[in-house]
Homo-oligomer: A and B are copies of this chain.
């Protein structure tokens, strides 16, 4: 939006170094556009298969085509849209096969992530996990789907973070977001079990038991995968939460 240059003055050397938190960078417009489009895709405003016309998006977002183009191309490499050579961008249509493949890869990555997390977790890490676990269980009580999804994502992201492998964490982030996109419409039924498994996982990490953490996470991921397959049969029209 309007990023008015509100007198951001470069601090002189006289300022305390600790407080000199790198002032927010001009925030590249393409990033904002990327976020906006991703949000529109994830919440189904832009339907799978839909043709995305650069000019339309540009006008809708109030920017020129250039940032839109750049955002679309990054969306492609991240698997959200298909960019056909001289034809433009289409919202990616997830196939059953692809969903399963993503879930399989996720399972492998998350299992490894859990193992590493158990090896590296500090006391404060465990504290954070317990906090997230609690937040998830609270969301479970209120049956707020949106909060549940976020709590789930936060916990998994935290585990990935604690694994101390940035490359791994980044990959998990990408895969998880796409899995969530496919999975959200049917996320409700498994929530209870899912959080019980999470609790088990946190316990294993707290004990520093890598093998057990990996095993629990593997079971958790495969369970999710199974649930996806079981649920896939009934074509749900609109699930309201």
Contact = CB atoms under 8 A, between A and B. Distances in A.
30 contacts: A2-B96, A2-B97, A5-B93, A6-B49, A25-B86, A26-B85, A26-B86, A28-B85, A30-B73, A69-B70, A73-B73, A74-B77, A77-B78, A98-B166, A98-B167, A101-B165, A101-B167, A101-B168, A102-B167, A104-B112, A104-B165, A104-B167, A105-B109, A105-B112, A105-B168, A105-B171, A108-B112, A109-B109, A167-B175, A171-B171
A95 interface: yes
Interface of A: 2, 5-6, 25-28, 30, 49, 69-70, 73-74, 77-78, 85-86, 93, 95-98, 101-102, 104-105, 108-109, 112, 165-168, 171, 175
B49 A105 contact: no
A98 to B, nearest CB: 7
Tallying the copies of this chain within the complex gives: 2
A135 to B, nearest CB: 29
A102 B105 CA distance: 16
A30 B101 CA distance: 29
Contacts of A85: 25-28
Contacts of A25: 85-86
Give the top 3 A-B pairs by smallest Cβ distance, nearest first.
Answer: A25-B85, A101-B167, A101-B165
A94 to B, nearest CB: 11
